[in-house]
Amino acid sequence: GEGRGKTARVARPRDCTMCRECIRQEEHEDRLKLERVADHFIFSVESVGVMPAKRIVKEAIQVLKNKCTEVLREIQLHEESTTANDEEDYAAGNEDEEEDTEMRNDS
């Protein structure tokens, strides 16, 4: 981009601990910026050999998807329940007002 110089990248990102040591020197303070890539994740999977790591990751992702689906379902049920209760409370409140009005008219 305009006004930007060269971009430096970590040679071995798996070894970077984000300790910020590389930018602590005053001479680099204004010239270097340390940041993560927002949609990248580095993680490791260990296996004792019964299942390949790739299968472990795929199955773990499926478990996570199922749990997310369950959470979303519970949120929807809660919202529907809250909406129904609010509507019942509103209807009950209006009925009370109608009864009060009728009682006042009878007096």
Domain assignment of residue 5, yes or no? no
Task: Summarize pLDDT for 35-66 with one digit per residue, the tens.
Answer: 878 888 778 888 888 999 899 999 999 999 99
Model confidence pLDDT, tens digit, residues 17-41: 888 887 888 877 777 777 878 888 7
Is position 45 within any domain? yes
Burial of 56 (0-12, 13-18, 19+ CB in 10 A): middle
Q: According to the model, what pLDDT value does residue 4 have?
A: 62
The set of residues, in sequence order, having a beta carbon less than 8 Å from that of 34 and lying 6+ positions away, is: 18, 20, 22, 23
Structural domain span for residue 31: 17-93
φ, ψ at 77 (rounded to 5°): -60, -40
Q: Which has the higher per-residue pLDDT, 23 or 75?
A: 75
Residues 53, 45: contact at Cβ < 8 Å? yes
Residue 75 falls inside a structural domain: yes
